[in-house]
Amino acid sequence: MFFPGSSEMARVVIFANGAVADADRVRGLVAPSDSILCADGGTRHALELGLHPDMVIGDLDSMTGEDREAVENAGVEIKAYPRDKNETDLELAVREALRREASRIMIVGALGRRLDHTIGNIAMLTDPALAELDVRLDDGLEEVRLCRAEMLLTGNAGDIVSLLPWGGDVQGVRTEGLQWPLWDETLHADKTRGISNEMLGPTARVRIAGGLLLIVHRRQSQAENRAT
């Protein structure tokens, strides 16, 4: 829960209206101390996981009547906006997280369903207002983050890690803990060299000297884990 003026800010988890690939794993990623915001139709994900939102925000055109009744009966704050607006519901939720001075934001349900929304949601990671924060998109199976300098990945051996230059070439790429290492190399925006690397153990590290590097970390599925 968020307390203004507190010395240590709990993470904000935002539920968007996209797909959730592994609900059980998402449930395990959400901590009791997290503040939960729902971007309109993303409310359904939080309710299906048995979570209590702190706020529902958006134009409320994609939330079902049943879900709205549920949050209203639970006393959840609803921050409604007109449908004719310049921002998506998720962008409004991210702004609310920034207003709460969040230093860590996990966005669930920002991937899948609609390609335009997925690309737009990923592009939001480049917002300068988020540059100093720990912001990630996570659907339970895949985690998407933007590396501006250095990033530590945690997972398991065999997890797939793809390194994608965003908005231009990325210089001075160095990796540790990946099957095919890079040593002060350039990843070009029009090439696919960085796709489908693999973690060798529970951690991996990526460093860059310049540019923006999108990191897509695909965890082993539950079925793959059972088979190994």
The domain spans of the chain are 12-140, 150-227
The correct answer on CATH 3.40.50.1100 for the domain covering 150-227 is no
User: Which pLDDT belongs to residue 132?
Assistant: 93
Mean pLDDT across 52-71: 93
Contact present, 196 and 149 (Cβ < 8 Å): no
User: Which pLDDT belongs to residue 2?
Assistant: 35
- Provide the whole-model pTM: 0.89
User: Which pLDDT belongs to residue 9?
Assistant: 58
User: Which pLDDT belongs to residue 163?
Assistant: 98
101-145: per-residue pLDDT in tens? 999 999 999 998 889 999 999 999 999 999 999 999 999 999 999
Cβ count near 17 (within 10 Å): 23
Q: Measure the CA–CA gap between 148 and 132, rounded to whole angstroms.
A: 9
Second CATH level (architecture) for the domain 12-140: 3-Layer(aba) Sandwich (3.40)
Portion of the chain with pLDDT greater than 90, in percent: 86
User: Which pLDDT belongs to residue 225?
Assistant: 44
Does residue 223 surpass a pLDDT of 90?
A: no
User: Which pLDDT belongs to residue 34?
Assistant: 94
Does residue 7 surpass a pLDDT of 50?
A: no
Long-range contact pairs involving 78-85 (C-beta distance under 8 Å, separation at least 24): 79/55, 81/57, 83/59, 85/59
Q: Measure the CA–CA gap between 24 and 60, rounded to whole angstroms.
A: 26
Q: Is 209 helix (H, G, I), strand (E, B) or coil?
A: coil
Lowest mean pLDDT among 3-7, 37-41, 121-125: 3-7
Does residue 228 surpass a pLDDT of 80?
A: no
Does residue 91 surpass a pLDDT of 60?
A: yes
Mean pLDDT across 73-77: 94
On average, the pLDDT of the chain sits at 91
